[in-house]
Amino acid sequence: MTERGIMFVHAHPDDETVSTGATLAHYAARDDAHVTVVTCTLGEEGEVRVPEFAQLAAGQADQLGGFRYWEYRHATAALGVEDTHFLGGAGRWRDSGMMGLPSNDHPRSFWRADLDEAAGLLVELVRDRRPEVLVTYDPDGFYGHPDHIQAHRVAMRAVDLAGRADWRPELGTPHECRKVYWTTMPKSALEEHFDTFKSATDNPFEGVESPDELPFGVPDDEVDACVSGDRAAAERKMAAMRAYPTQIAPGDWLTVLGEKLGAEAVGAEHYRLVRGEPGTGSGPRGWEPDLLA
C-alpha cells in the first residue's frame, strides 16, 4: 500500500501532543499514512509545573531543554510517531519565551531566526518526505507565543519555496503540498467544556471568566476539519501527555478534561484549511473528518 505523507510543524516539545496528539496517533496507526513531526526548539524557556524539576529552569540550571528532549522522545513513541526532527538539529534555535520577555532577544532565539535560513531547512525535509498535507499554526501562533508565530512563518514560507524549481535545487526535487491546515479551536467546544476547564487547579489562564476572554477560539463556520472519534488515538494522546511531567502536571486543565470528560474530550482536534480543496464533510457541521481526503 502506498503511504501518503502528512507533516506537522510545531514550536516546542509537548506542542505536538497538546495541539495535535490524537491526530498524530490516528495517522500513525494507519497503514496508508506516513507521519512526520518537525519541532523548532527544545523548549528551554518553558514554565516548570512540578517542584521536583524546578531547578532545571532557564533561570537556574538551564537544563530544561535536555530534559524536554527526552520527554519528547517518550511522548512521540507513545503516539506511534517515528519520523521526528528538530529543525536544524536539536538545539539549533532556542525557545524564545513568552512575548515581551528578555529571552526574545537571546542571539539563538527562534524568534530571531533568519526566515529563509529556517525555511530552507524545512524545505529540505518537505522535498525529501514529500507530504501531501502540512499542518502548522495560524499567523497568531494559536495564542500569541513568539515561537508559534515564527513556526507559522517558517512553515508557510517553506510551503511556498518547496514547490519552486528555481529556489535552491540542491535541496531536492520541488514538491507542492496539496493541502495546508492551521490548528484551531471552535468556540462551541470552548463553551461546552468551559466549566470543567475552569475547575483545573493548574490553569495558565487563571482569572478568565468566559470563553470569549481566551486568546484562542474561532466561530464554528471558520473550522473546516475535525479529527475525532478514535478512542485508541485519544488514549495514546493522554499517554503522551503523561510523558511530559515538567509541562503537564496533575491538575493541569488538559488532564482534568480527560479525567472528568473522558479521553475523547481531548481527542477531538480541529483545523482550518487554508490551501487546497476540502474533502467530503460529515456530521452536523460538515467538517472534514480526514485531513488526507
Residue 256, domain CATH: 3.40.50.10320
Q: pTM, whole model, 2 decimals?
A: 0.94
Is residue 100 a part of any domain in this protein? yes
Q: Are strands 83-86 and 33-39 parallel, antiparallel or unpaired?
A: parallel
- Cell numbers for 39, please give them: 519541532
Confidence of residue 288 (pLDDT cuts 50, 70, 90): very high
Number of domains present in the structure of the chain: 1
Q: Which residue has the higher pLDDT, 148 or 230?
A: 148
Burial of 238 (0-12, 13-18, 19+ CB in 10 A): buried
Is residue 28 a part of any domain in this protein? yes
Is residue 159 a part of any domain in this protein? yes
Is residue 39 a part of any domain in this protein? yes
Is residue 285 a part of any domain in this protein? no
Which amino acid, residue 234? A
Confidence of residue 201 (pLDDT cuts 50, 70, 90): low
- Cell numbers for 68, please give them: 524536554
User: What are the residues whose beta carbons fall under 8 Å from the beta carbon of 258, sequence distance 6 or more?
Assistant: 238, 241, 265, 266
Mean pLDDT of 66-70: 98
Is residue 20 a part of any domain in this protein? yes
Is residue 19 a part of any domain in this protein? yes
Residue 176 DSSP SS3: coil
Is residue 258 a part of any domain in this protein? yes
Q: How far apart (Å, rounded) are the C-alpha atoms in residues 196 and 209? A: 12
Domain span holding position 69: 4-275
Q: How far apart (Å, rounded) are the C-alpha atoms in residues 225 and 43? A: 28
